[in-house]
Structure 1
Amino acid sequence: MAAASWRIVSSSVIRAVAYDDASRELRVRFSNGSVYRYLGVPADVAAALVDPPSGSSGRYFNDHVRDAFDFDEE
């Protein structure tokens, strides 16, 4: 994924994600409108969140992002 453009994902919990290659920051916009920034996320993890092997961005997020990286709320 390229620098920080929002990509809509198929999920009931996550609305969109944006990833910046240079800073390795992943931003996740949830369906409730909140946005969280995850730090130090590898590009392959961010790409898999947009096109998850399981077909579920929400499941992939829970399994590979949520408790794996430092984060803050924007």
Structure 2
Amino acid sequence: MIRDARYWPDERALELCFTTGRRFIYLGVPAPVAEGFVAAPSKGRFFNQSIKGRFVCHELASPAAPRKRRAAND
């Protein structure tokens, strides 16, 4: 469910990248919650129980997909 995570303790911000490629930043996440996430045997379960719906979140722009180049005569 979750492919990658980053935490910025000074900002109390947790960035999560899901297996779908969508990225979200969760604001106001206390360090003990971020540490609990890191230590959790099931990241998805911890996310659903302790993060989802409990913190303000914003979706981050994903890197643009590479465009196919077209030949001049296409």
TM tier relative to shorter chain: 0.7 to 0.9
- Letter matched to residue 18 of structure 2: F
Question: Percent identity at matched positions?
Answer: 38
Cα-to-partner distance string for 1:30-72 (whole Å, 9 max, x where unaligned): 00111000000001101111111xx211000000001100000
TM-score by length of 1: 0.78
Structure 2 unmatched runs, 5+: 61-74
Q: How does 1:13-32 map to 2 (within 5 A)?
A: 13-32=1-20
TM-score by length of 2: 0.78
- CA-based RMSD: 0.6
Return the alpha-carbon distance in structure 1 between the equivalents of residues 17 and 55 of structure 2.
Answer: 16
Structure 1 unmatched runs, 5+: 1-12
**Corresponding position: 1:42 with 2:30:** yes
Question: Aligned residue pairs: how many?
Answer: 60
Q: Which residue number corresponds to residue 55 of structure 2?
A: 69
> Between Structure 1 and Structure 2, whose CA radius of gyration is higher?
2
Return the alpha-carbon distance in structure 2 between the equivalents of residues 48 and 57 of structure 1.
Answer: 9
Q: Which residue number corresponds to residue 60 of structure 1?
A: 46
